[in-house]
Structure 1
Amino acid sequence: MRILLVEDDPQLGDGLSVGLRQAGFAVDWLQDGRAADHALQSESFDLVVLDLGLPGIDGMQVLQAARQRGLRAPVLVLTARDATGDKIAGLDAGADDYLVKPVDLDELAARLRALLRRSAGRAAPVLQRGDLQLDPAARSVSLAGQPIDLPAREFTLLQLLLENAGRVLSRSQIEQSLYGWREEPDSNALEVHIHHLRKKLGSELIRTLRGVGYTIPK
């Protein structure tokens, strides 16, 4: 899942980027409010982690403008502003969660997983289809009770398809969720990942609609 991280502190931003990538997210990191505002207008993200005290444009203005344009992605405000009034203002401006620095990385990842669940309209933490189970928190997959070892990219792809079961996702939609700005996938990388998942989980799990995309039927 692709995250836009907006944090102007270089040390904190670097640490969060590394930690969130290790937790399985694709992370694009910006340090300026104007750059964040432009990115939210021109690209798609599954989640946004937004500081408020930003150069260029204040994070609150970035949030308000994005919601006014119709941004649907969950936004978690991560800031040093800890006054109750600031929290109320942030949530009323369109934030889905509000977390005060310093932050525990495990808690941040858990909150982001919860936001993804809610945005997908599900309550259960574990994704399931028949005998297949995927646990985003434990980053584990099992089939008929047997653990299946998946590399990070295959795990994220499977999670994305299960989160959107019944919907057809285009190559562009999938690649936007799997890869950040620093990553340039090979032309056949997606097909390779799909092939490996079918080999491990069964050829009928993921269906191809030629010229359209991929889906896991409900």
Structure 2
Amino acid sequence: MTSTGALDAALAPTWYIESDHPAVLGFVAEHAGAGTPEERVVRLYYAVRDGFRYDPYSIRLDPRNFRATTCLEQGAGYCINKAILLAAAARAVGVPARLGFADVRNHLASPRLIELLGTDVFYWHGYTSLWLGGRWVKATPAFNIELCERFGVRPLEFDGRADSVFHEFDTGGRRHMEYIREHGDFDDLPYERLTAVMLAEYPRLFAGELPSGDFHAEAEPIRG
């Protein structure tokens, strides 16, 4: 059972989850609309999912890169950035929100990205946990619909009631993503833990100047 104190902690603005920032409030005013908490959060989910391109090459370990307003300014981000933005937007409409993390094996990442990472395991993949209908519901706004179409993957839908966490199969029925390990939910970004894992697991990625690229251009359906 979740206590009132726990819900209050999941509603408070933080340096990363800037739910009281004018830019976040403006984003919410534009996209949340009226209605029930579920209806408003579902609209915000799709606004984050499809309004911001998924860009794994935008990863930077500078703390400022993880702020909700940075994702708004850049118009793109990877899973953690977009989960933080959704959490901030949800808190701004009075819905408690946390950040969830898990290690996943991604079978449809581009060859270039896999080479840079040195693995097909995405450590500390981020999603958002939302308090809706008296329970925590998971939502993953990472992968925008255009990217999913290029990869031949069904986009993740979210109705505010059921968990929406991963693309288990592509449109051809081939395995796409599997969860390996859950790290739990957090009221704020666990920056030190996250960056320690990134540096340990992806030494090639952070060995020199961070790469740039167009992940959308690299994306193509896997061939059976």
TM-score between the two structures when normalised by the length of structure 1: 0.29
TM-score, with normalisation over the residues of structure 2? 0.29
Q: Highest Rg: 1 or 2?
A: 1
**Which has the higher relative contact order, 1 or 2, with Cα contacts under 8 A spaced 6 or more apart?**
2
